[in-house]
Structure 1
């Protein structure tokens, strides 16, 4: 599963909206499968798997967007962390007595069937050191200012970015306005970063802006994760930043 595919982001956003009572299970799963095709966990259809987790008192879904050297959202074991880093993403189901990690891969059967298979294993406790959406927004703004020169040195506008990258910024009903705003901005910046990588930076650009771009990439991933968890944050005044 390509790291840019927002399957886990969609699963977390729409799954949490379902758990919070804003959408039905069918609508949530339909949105996930609109991105990646039919989804199964092992051999169990995603719809049935989520219903079973709800019976086991599933509390929330969390998003992990790790990169090599930055296990964002992961808490082990090493086999799960390694699979999630390879995929560039994972979803974590938080239950009262355990957490289950789901890592997506392409499910190819025959010449025409394309779907998503989610491999599941038990994980460590949910990470509590992840930023709030307000904290992530501040980090993203600071990283964006630092990286402006490096980004603007890439000739040409951000055109032709994959459509599925844009979809990654979409949250579900029930999320606060700030979360929608932060997720959309982070997704646009992520697309610009990928465009810079595709076009290539000169050695001089890398020397001048490489560190800033790496920090922006980290801030983008933290912002997307924070936005996808914001549905369960305490309600705050939007003006109280």
Structure 2
């Protein structure tokens, strides 16, 4: 699985584009299979091709797919329960299918069989039917810009050996048809910054210099993950509108009173 385009992000982007009517199911699944090979969804007792699994969820009323890009100590995009959270943190990614009154978690892992079969196995898990604490696209873009500035200032203050400038390729933003232009812009920037983070090198630095650089890169990594989640959620955010999302994100007055 390519680190610039986690398979969970691809599932969420193309799955949401399909749910919004911008692409067909076959096109969405074909895009996933081109990225990482055959895809199956498994439980303790069953194994279902991803194509059929998504079709069944659509019949059940699935309205959206949400992206999670957690890290240890930062369960970004997750709402529990603990088994799903732990599995997603271990994988560094997950997707959540939103259905009426419930959610289902999907955690990917390599699926290797014999010498020639290489694909993805999605482990199906229960997920809490709650709205995760993730930023909207505008807030995430602002946070990413701020983190970029802070990281640049911190890294420029660290003297160390230089062996030429690394080449950063232009990365695919990973989104699908139907996403707003701002989401494409933010996703493309996060893909490029993810390349920068992978190429960051600490060789030849003192422990103090490593600490300065490490903190700057951790802050940037957090902002990149939050912006990528926001970009992949943007098609759902645009479809539902800010008022709907705000109502979902807070309890109503009866719940606040315990009613």
Is TM > 0.5 for Structure 1 vs Structure 2?
yes
Deviations 1:172-207 (A, max 9, x none): 000000000001101111110111158686423323
TM alignment of 1:134-149, pairs within 5 A: 134-149=138-153
Q: TM-score, normalised by structure 1?
A: 0.89
Cα gap change, 1:204 to 1:177, in 2 (>3 Å): same
Matched, 1:174 2:178: yes
Q: TM-score, normalised by structure 2?
A: 0.83
Cα gap change, 1:202 to 1:39, in 2 (>3 Å): farther
Q: Which residue of the partner structure matches residue 66 of structure 1?
A: 70
TM alignment of 1:193-208, pairs within 5 A: 193-197=197-201, 202-208=206-212
Q: Which residue of the partner structure matches residue 23 of structure 1?
A: 23
Contact 2:105–2:125 (8 Å) recurs in 1: yes
Cα gap change, 1:199 to 1:83, in 2 (>3 Å): farther
Query: Structure 1 residues 73-82 or 138-147, which shifts more?
Result: 73-82
Query: Structure 1 residues 219-228 or 197-206, which shifts more?
Result: 197-206
TM alignment of 1:119-134, pairs within 5 A: 119-134=123-138
Contact 2:168–2:195 (8 Å) recurs in 1: no
Q: Distance in 1 between matches of 2:166 and 2:49?
A: 37
Cα gap change, 1:199 to 1:106, in 2 (>3 Å): farther
Give 1:170 deviation, angstroms: 1.8
Paired residues, what number?
Answer: 232
Deviations 1:54-97 (A, max 9, x none): 00000000000000010000111111111111110000000002
Contact 1:60–1:94 (8 Å) recurs in 2: yes
Pick one of 198, 205, 222 that aligns with 1:218: 222
Can you give the 5+ residue segments of structure 2 that lack an aligned partner in the other structure?
242-259
Contact 1:150–1:205 (8 Å) recurs in 2: no
